[in-house]
Amino acid sequence: MSLAGETSAVRTAARADAPPLLDVAALRKYFPVRDVWQRQVGWLKALDDVSLFVRKGEILGIVGESGCGKSTLGKTIMGIHPATDGKIVFEGNDITKLRPDKSRALRRRLQYSYQDPGASLDPRWKIRRSLHEPLVIHTELSADAREKRVRAIMRSVGLPETHLDLYPHEISGGQQRRVGLARILTLQPTLVILDEPTSGLDVSVQATVLNLFLDLKKEFGLTYMFISHDLSVVRMICDRVAVMYLGKIVEMGAIESIFSAPKHPYTQSLLAAIPQIGGRKVTDDFWLEGEPPDPTNLPSGCRFRTRCPLAESRCAQSEPPLIEKRPHHADACWLSA
């Protein structure tokens, strides 16, 4: 199969001296689209030439609407989906094409937190067994040593040790989220991919969970990739952010720069859609119309042009590359100055 399209390994921010913890270059993930006779009739380009890096100790936000490929990005980095093309370098090792037995040792330090913690815990296991499982798989620790570590982690995530003897359905959503996090932290990872970690939580619970993320980051020296559709949360806790639209990064850079002066029309509309309490009503003058096009049948040129109020003829001809036009701020738009 041919993977047309030129590779644009553009870096947004200036590289720090140290090599990045995670370096993703021109990553593609295409899912085959099949008709009723199982013949392949096209590709769904869930990730198309995505390049980004994460420095040690930072929080990189990935934002976008449902179907933009942000979860696929997290899962492809984790190796849950094999990458179609491109390179993923984690702690200096290329992990893209490693055999599963080789990658297991590396992936111990790269962990993924699922969107729905209730569904990712076995309903028939007590919390204790769920927390022991990763240690059994990845370490040689004795049962006593495991139990000690599990108890220490439970304290760190702010749960009483008595919760170890409960089943997942006996605890609340916020507590399940804490257990999910504890399960990951027992392996002492360096990079944690948080997939929609606050969706489905009430605001008051969301605030405590976010504070927990920040505390744990400090305590364990973690680096986060924070996948979310909630821009106000991303603004609060991330250092850098990448905005995705239909499998592409359309804008990426330092959080302040993007939120105060978004350059891509899609980012502008996304920010304009957030309700501002006490401020002007978004619904009075919201200008973005329509919905994202069918991802199996993308428009030519810029993917956003079908909804973009500024689109001109050149937008339909070729796809704008992601270029750093000002320091720490890259965007993929022909019209942004």
Partner 1 sequence: MSDRLLAVDDLTVSFSSDAGRVQVLDHVTFAMSRGEIVGLVGESGSGKTTLARAILGILPANAAHIESGGIRFEGEDLLQADPADIATRVRGRTITFVPQDPFTSFNPVFTIGSQIMELMKWKSPLAPPSSGLSRYARTRRKADRVKVIELLKTVQLPDPEAMLAKYPHEVSGGQRQRLMIAMALMTDPKLIIADEPTTALDVTIQAQILKLLRQLTRERGVSVLFTTHDLGAAHEICDRICVLYAGQEVETAPAGRFFAHPSHPYTRSLLDSLPSREHGIRGIRGEIPALVNPPAGCRFHPRCDRATGECSALRPSETAVGDLHTLRCYHPLSQPEPASAAS
Binding site for partner 1 (CB under 8 A): 65-66, 172-174, 202-208, 210-211, 214, 229, 231-233, 235-237, 269-270, 272-278, 281-283, 286, 288-289, 291
Dist. CA 277–CA 281, nearest whole Å: 8
Nearer to partner 1, 89 or 158 (CB): 158
Least separation in angstroms between residue 271's CB and partner 1 is 9
Q: Which of 243, 217, 248 is nearest to 231 (CA)?
A: 243
Nearer to partner 1, 70 or 132 (CB): 70
Least separation in angstroms between residue 181's CB and partner 1 is 16
**How far, CA to CA in Å, does 15 sit from each of 19, 20, 109?**
8, 8, 23
Cβ of 202: how many Cβ atoms within 10 Å? 10
Q: What is the DSSP track for 240-269?
A: EEEEEETTEEEEEEEHHHHHHS--SHHHHH
Least separation in angstroms between residue 230's CB and partner 1 is 8
Nearer to partner 1, 27 or 234 (CB): 234
Nearer to partner 1, 94 or 202 (CB): 202
Nearer to partner 1, 282 or 316 (CB): 282
Least separation in angstroms between residue 215's CB and partner 1 is 11
Helical (H) or strand (E) element with 180: helix 173-185
Least separation in angstroms between residue 180's CB and partner 1 is 17
